[in-house]
Amino acid sequence: MSLLPPERIERVCGFGMASCADGYVVRPASVDELEEAVREAVRAHRKIVLRGAGRSYGDAAIGAERVVIECTRMNRILSWDPDAGLLEAEAGVTIEQMWRHCLPDGFWPPVVSGTMFPTLAGALAMNIHGKNSFAAGVLGEHAEWIDVWFPASGLQRLTPEDELFSEVIGSAGLLGTILRACIRMKRVPSGDLRVRPTLCGNWDEQFDAFRKFESDADYMVSWIDCFAKGRSFGRGLFHAAWYETDESAKRDSLQPAHQDLPSSILGVVPKSLVWHGLRALNNRSDMRLLNAAKHHSARLPGGKEYRQSLVAFSFLLDYVPNWRMAYAPHGFIQYQSFVPKLRAAEIFAQQIEMQQERKLEAFLGVLKRHRPDRFLFSHGVDGYSLALDLKITPHNRDRIFQLAHEMNDLVLSAGGRFYLAKDSTLRPQDFRASIGPQSLAKYRRLKDTLDPDHLLTSSLAQRLEID
Ligand SMILES: Cc1cc2nc3c(=O)[nH]c(=O)nc-3n(C[C@H](O)[C@H](O)[C@H](O)COP(=O)(O)OP(=O)(O)OC[C@H]3O[C@@H](n4cnc5c(N)ncnc54)[C@H](O)[C@@H]3O)c2cc1C
């Protein structure tokens, strides 16, 4: 019986809901079922898009009329060795499963994204970074091995000694299917962090804060008020955090119950309702006020060092279920660019100025510090990234894309890079210029060898003309 009847067609979207496509969605629970789905796609002359939990913001895990192989049901933890700190897991195991499994033994994932819902394979396919990117780099640097199924040659185990390892990790699911991986988990002294906020009045203070703490903090991140102008231009709230070593933090903080996020906000409002409120405020004037209020509230007494669980600090956005629905029905894009440290302040300031001139300010801006890495499609630079959430409406869509293209030009002029998990707006020439012609030529040679019929694709691959 065909796996691809019309009933299988589903509308799948990027997390930002601004890019969607109808595909035949298959959810294999085993490698055998995955291989059967591939054979079925080949018989039906359809290409394949690999998908994890769909947490990439843009069009990396969607494809019109493709067979979308969603790996979330291949979600078994295969082994956990607390002595060595090694976790072996299937493709669809989530970051949440990883920390829940290992934290009671005093281990935490070495790199996590701002949400705990991505799958391990999706996270490796994009090579995610976290708020410790400046110190720990990207997730691929913490993998002992990956098992990958290549269309041309079948299953292969890759270790960091294999050149292919750094070519497949980060290649956005276009070279092979990651089936399993082994991750070196991070030993932590407790499940809590000591968090120190620093209120920054402008861009200079932002970058000073990163420089001040980068030699010893475990995590650093800063929020930017993208509406602020004049003397407050670039203001925001920086946080540095350290693993809590205080004995009193140890006992309970490693238990998942200590980490669980509360089910209500301020003990009263059920979290599941909060996005409705956010939606009412999801317009330029209210967001300007909310950003200003956030900044001023950080001045209040109590803005000193505090203790916070790893989950609460790492996955702030998971506090509000369905928060993205505040951007419905047209969604939003996240624009994240990575700029070498010498030019970052100037380029990010210009990006925000351009947004303000056009009244297209990002409702949320997040600044992080990064380091370079050896992966083929690396987004890492010795510098900073600024992630900007830009609301899409039918009236501003073209202007947002025009703005993004001009911001891309700025980033490229400074030798910067982009991140495919967040991208919606790059043009083929932007991507070529950012990774360089040699890397692209290398990718194309690999593609012809590992996937000669170009079975693996995505809307992103087509848009960037890397397919
Ligand atoms: C609220 C939020 C916060 C985020 N914060 C961060 C952050 O701080 N840092 C960061 O780096 N990212 C962040 N992200 C992005 C997210 O971590 C990445 O997009 C991640 O790749 C999502 O994993 P996923 O399982 O949802 O994969 P998907 O988004 O479904 O797919 C991602 C890519 O993986 C490929 N893929 C999926 N399965 C496989 C497989 N089995 N084999 C090979 N390729 C496969 C897909 O084709 C696609 O190209 C954030 C996302 C959200 C929604």
User: For 60-83, what is each residue's pLDDT tens digit?
Assistant: 999 999 999 999 999 999 999 999
Mean pLDDT on 80-92:
98
Kindly state whether residues 82 and 22 are assigned to the same domain.
no
Separation of 275 CA from ligand 1 center, angstroms? 22
Question: Model confidence at 245, in pLDDT bands (50, 70, 90)?
Answer: very high
Is 127 a member of any domain? yes
Last residue of some domain: 154, 187, 220?
A: 187
Higher-confidence residue of 322 and 271: namely 322
Kindly state whether residues 12 and 148 are assigned to the same domain.
no
Is 148 a member of any domain? yes
Kindly state whether residues 160 and 129 are assigned to the same domain.
yes
Indicate which atom in ligand 1 lies nearest the CA of residue 56: 19
> Is the pLDDT confidence value at 106 over 80?
yes
pLDDT mean across residues, the chain: 95
Last residue of some domain: 169, 187, 205?
A: 187
Kindly state whether residues 262 and 123 are assigned to the same domain.
no
Number of domains in the chain: 3
Kindly state whether residues 225 and 315 are assigned to the same domain.
yes
Kindly state whether residues 300 and 408 are assigned to the same domain.
yes
Residues paired with 88 in a beta bridge: 79, 182
Is 435 a member of any domain? no
pLDDT score of 302: 55
Q: Print the domain residue range for 127.
A: 77-187
Q: Which two tokens stand for residue 275?
A: 């996005």
- Tell me if the pTM is above 0.95: yes
Is 174 a member of any domain? yes
Q: What is the DSSP letter of 378?
A: -
CB-based pocket (< 6 A), ligand 1? 15, 49-56, 60-61, 71, 91, 113-115, 118-119, 121-123, 125-126, 128-130, 172-173, 177-178, 317, 421, 458
pLDDT score of 135: 98
Cα-flanking dihedrals φ and ψ of residue 143, to 5°? -95, 135
104-120 burial string, b = 16+ CB within 10 Å, else e?
Answer: eebbbbbbbbbbbbbbb
Is 328 a member of any domain? yes
The CATH number covering residue 123 comes to: 3.30.465.10
The CATH number covering residue 458 comes to: 3.30.43.10
What is the sign of the dihedral through the CA atoms of 450, 454, 460 and 463?
positive
> Is the pLDDT confidence value at 197 over 70?
yes
Separation of 458 CA from ligand 1 center, angstroms? 13
- Rounded alpha-carbon distances, angstroms, from residue 115 to 94, 102, 128, 449: 10, 18, 11, 35
3-state helix, strand and coil shares in percent for the chain, rounded to the nearest 5: 35, 25, 40
Is the separation of the CB atoms in 65 and 39 below 8 Å?
no
Is 376 a member of any domain? yes
Cis, peptide link before residue 394, omega less than 30° from 0: no
Q: How far apart are CA 67 and CA 73, in angstroms?
A: 16
Mean pLDDT on 353-363:
98
Higher-confidence residue of 7 and 457: namely 457
Is 433 a member of any domain? no
Separation of 172 CA from ligand 1 center, angstroms? 9
Kindly state whether residues 424 and 454 are assigned to the same domain.
no
Separation of 7 CA from ligand 1 center, angstroms? 26
Is 438 a member of any domain? no
The residue contributing the CA closest to ligand 1 atom 13 is: 113
Kindly state whether residues 147 and 201 are assigned to the same domain.
no
> Is the pLDDT confidence value at 191 over 60?
yes
The residue contributing the CA closest to ligand 1 atom 34 is: 122
Kindly state whether residues 176 and 255 are assigned to the same domain.
no
Separation of 53 CA from ligand 1 center, angstroms? 7
Kindly state whether residues 313 and 391 are assigned to the same domain.
yes
The CATH number covering residue 377 comes to: 3.40.462
Kindly state whether residues 175 and 208 are assigned to the same domain.
no
Last residue of some domain: 168, 187, 206?
A: 187
> Is the pLDDT confidence value at 267 over 60?
yes
